[in-house]
Structure 1
Amino acid sequence: MDTYRTLIDVEALAARLAASAPTVVLDCRFDLADPSAGEAAYEAKHLPGARYVHLDRDLSGLKTGRNGRHPLPERVALAAWAGRMGIAPGVQVVAYDDQGGPYAARCWWLLRWLGHEAVAVLDGGFSAWRAAGQAFEDDEPAPLTGTSPYPAAAKPAMPTVDADALQSALGRVRLVDARNGARFRGETEPLDPVAGHIPGATLRFFQDNLVPGGRFKPAEQLRAEFDAWATPTDRVVHQCGSGVTACHNLLAMTHAGLEGSALYPGSWSEWCADPARPVATG
């Protein structure tokens, strides 16, 4: 069967499951305001065979108070987790959420960072699966036994930049902020102690990648919108509040055929934790 590396639609996923094609389905539903909500929703109903993935426990590392709200996990820990999920080279992974794709995109990016290419986000997520009349389950799959850590690539397969490198590059890269306009302008800040944005950043709210109903825009439309920046892909850096919704913009660019842009994992929550770093508003 086909391998999916960015998005997969409901029909294609349903066909894989019906054919018992090797597929790992990951439920990434999450709510920043209520970290237990996604797991509770999973326990009530989820896609067949799906295993739950928690943003804080599984897709983030240890917080120090200076490295952002969702720092990257250590690659060794991520590889061990991936193995426990049944992920192995060549096995198709499908991640989904019910919030337009940001948490599933974080899972997608992390697995690509680890070196796993056969990973895609379910276009339209949980809602699209439900709207298509597909089946759900409420029982949790048994833990896998005898698994091995994922054989991660020797070097990270997706580029990142840290705060110091980004600050030194301001004005020479296009920094793209995936937060909403009110947070970007500093009019409100519900999650971090300082409001505003990194000087010179471009606003690209992650939901601008979607059409009404929650599916991604066609690749050609996304390509035209990103091409309007007139910036080489390797000079684009993505950030958001904590390195999560930025992955949505990275997924959209990759789906549009524009690979090679970087993630600033610490994002605004790390940046604003250092009072010496510049802040802009408006």
Structure 2
Amino acid sequence: MTTTYRTLISATELLALEKQPQALLLIECSFDLADTDAGERVYRDQHLPGAHYLHLDRDTCGPMTGRNGRHPLPDRETFAARMRALGLRKETQVVAYDRQGGPYGAHLWWMLRWLGHEAVAVLDGGLAAWTAAGGPLSKHETPTPHAGDFVTGPSLSPTIEADALLARLGTLRLIDARAAERFRGEVEPLDKQAGHIPGASNRFFKDNLGPDGRFRPAAELRAEFERLLPPHAPSAVVHQCGSGVTACHNLLAMEHAGLAGSALYPGSWSEWSCDPARPVAKG
């Protein structure tokens, strides 16, 4: 019987999994918001053997309109077709990784769950953990696989849109994954105005990681989130960030900690702040 990984997978577990006969799809998601070609460059230089690369802007996001945020969700069926082209089937175990502590891998994890694919995990510690465990690297181009037959199913990742969020402010727990100085509105390097959505709490996504770059133990994460959530259940929690990407790191941390059911506001601050009619808080 094969094991299905649904949140995190360690480098040693992945090394063992590669020896098994089950279908495995490796995806590198490394990215740099300040240099959007950097992730693909380092992938071409060295990557996990057999890994494919997905670019945040080109492959996992839809067109921007100026009012739907910096990384809007793509059309669901269009993204499913992109994954089928990489060989995705219902039984495929997907492992996503990056070199930035997991936010881009977690974004792909969330998006595949959004398509209804359950067998997806993030490589804990990314490429650094892989090499530390003795995993090899490759400079060879990964061949194009035979197309898969994946079909979208009911989403495993709830979402909420801006108008619905506005109507429910004060009735749910909103968690912002950005750095504290951006949350407080002291700086804003990317979006139209500084601040945060009123009523939000700040949980910087990097707080989920230990000094080794891996996710902290599930019990520690659970204890910290349980101090943040009351009086709300996980199902009444909405995660957001600047553009709906790093918030997925907090979603993954909660799922790993056994606190399932939270939603994502995909447009996040970049969408919210572009409409002057929406309220803004600072401090």
- The two structures have a TM-score, normalised by structure 1, of 0.97
Q: d(CA) in 2 for partners of 1:220 and 1:157?
A: 23
SS at match of 1:167: helix
Q: Tell me, yes or no, if the aligned pair for 2:22 and 2:92 is still in contact at 8 Å.
A: no
Secondary structure of 2:18's partner?
helix
* 1:239 maps to 2:240: yes
Per-residue CA deviations over 1:1-55 (Å, capped at 9, x if unaligned) read 2110000000010111133532100000000000000000000000010000100
- Per-residue displacement from partner, 1:218-270 (whole Å, max 9, x unpaired)? 11111111111222011100000000000000001111111111000000000
- Partner residue in 1 for 2:204: 205
Q: 101-110 or 17-26, which moves further after superposition? A: 17-26
Q: Quote the residue 2:91 is aligned against.
A: 90
- Give me the whole-angstrom Cα distance separating, in 2, the residues matched to 1:265 and 1:192: 15
**Cα shift at 1:138:** 0.6
Identity of aligned residues (%): 60
Correspondence for 2:77: 76
State the shift of 1:156 in Å. 2.6
Q: Which residue of 2 aligns with 1:25?
A: 26
Deviation string, structure 1 residues 157-199 (Cα, Å, up to 9, x no partner): 3110000000110001100000000100011111112011001
| Residue aligning to 1:151 | 151
Q: Where does residue 99 of structure 1 map in the other structure?
A: 100
Aligned partner of residue 18 in structure 1, secondary structure: coil
Is the Cα contact below 8 Å between 1:83 and 1:148 reproduced in 2? yes
Once the two structures are overlaid, the 10-residue window that deviates more, 16-25 or 197-206, is 16-25
3-state DSSP of counterpart to 1:24:
strand
5 Å-filtered alignment, 1:266-281, equals 266-281=267-282
Contact 1:45/1:137 (CA < 8 Å) preserved in 2? yes
Distance 1:89 1:56 in 2: 25
Matched, 1:248 2:215: no
Q: Identify unmatched segments of 5+ residues in structure 1.
A: none
Q: Is the CA contact (8 Å cut-off) linking 1:178 and 1:205 kept in structure 2?
A: yes
> 2:264, 2:86 → 1: CA distance?
25
Contact persistence 1:84–1:149 (CA under 8 A): no
The yes-or-no answer on 1:218 pairing with 2:217 is yes
Amino acid at match of 1:179: R
For 1:172, what is the secondary structure of its paired residue? coil
Deviation at 1:148, TM superposition (A): 4.5
Letter in 1 for 2:105: A
Letter in 1 for 2:176: D
Query: Structure 2: how far apart are the matches of 1:136 and 1:148?
Result: 25
Q: Is the 8 A contact 2:118 2:156 kept in 1?
A: no
In 2, the alpha carbon distance for the partners of 1:100 and 1:125 equals 7
TM normalised by structure 2 equals 0.97
The residue that corresponds to 1:259 in the other structure is 260
Q: What letter is aligned with 2:127? A: F
Cross-structure match for 2:131: 130
> Does the 8 A contact of 2:88 with 2:148 survive in 1?
no
